[in-house]
Amino acid sequence: MAGACVLAVAVPAQAQLEQALRVASSSTAASAAAQQRIETSDDDAETAARDYRAVLQQIDNMKLFVDQQDIYLRGQAGDIEALNRQLGSVEQVKRGMVPMILLMAARIEDSVNSDMPFKMRERQERLERMKATLADPSVTPTEQYRQVLAAYKNEVAYGQGLDSYEGAHPTNPGEKVDYLMFGRLSLLYMSKDEQDLGYYDMESKSWKSVDQSNALQVRQAIRIANGEAAAEIVFAPTFGAKN
């Protein structure tokens, strides 16, 4: 009987042990799963934190970019404003240039018409080209000014140095003569046979005769001006211009 009791007690104890082991094993598995979930959650949290920090960095970068663009746009606005002021100044200059150009052209034309009558065809043609340019609305004021300035420079150049050219006789157009210019100081002519010499008198606006004794010096001066003789001092007659 006693042995039977011991066996009866032992069987439930064994069952309880196995049940306890199963519970313990289940608890261990549950704990491992919970730990895995915790570790996964930690990884997810770290990933989320990294993503969040990356988003914050992108936001900072975008703010910096926007600030830079704002500075650039403000600079562009300042440049545009400056250009607009300059364009306004250009328009004012252009409006001021037109009267000045016309005045310069009128003075050049008056100067040619009242000057000694040398190379008149050449000079009158230049004046006509200049006036045609000024009358053309498609020509810019800058180009008009360039044309007027070129005419002015050409007129100034005539008064420098010794010059000679062939042209029609001042009172007998059918005859060719040699003209001699001493700058704007004196204008003379000599016939090809050296028998007819004359000079232009600014006071009377007419041609007057020159004594034949000056023919040699005048001819030498003409040869020097034409590059036909070496430069040297010549004593040719000069007649001061009077206005």
pLDDT in 10s for each residue of the chain, 243 residues: 444 444 444 456 666 666 766 666 666 666 666 667 666 766 667 777 777 777 778 777 777 777 777 776 677 777 777 666 665 566 666 677 788 889 999 999 999 999 999 999 999 999 999 999 999 989 988 899 899 999 999 998 888 888 999 999 999 989 999 999 988 889 999 999 999 999 999 989 999 999 888 899 899 999 999 888 887 777 667 665 444
Q: How far apart are CA 222 and CA 156, in angstroms?
A: 21
Q: What does the pLDDT read at residue 20?
A: 63
Q: Is 157 left (phi over 0), alpha (psi -120 to 50) or beta?
A: alpha
Residues 6+ apart with CB under 8 A from 159: 183, 184
Let me know if 199 is exposed, middle or buried by CB neighbors in 10 A (0-12, 13-18, 19+): buried
Task: State the DSSP code for 174.
Answer: T
Q: What does the pLDDT read at residue 219?
A: 92
End-to-end CA distance of the chain: 169
Task: Determine if the pTM surpasses 0.75.
Answer: no
Q: In what helix (H) or strand (E) does residue 60 lie, and over which residues does it extend?
A: helix 2-114
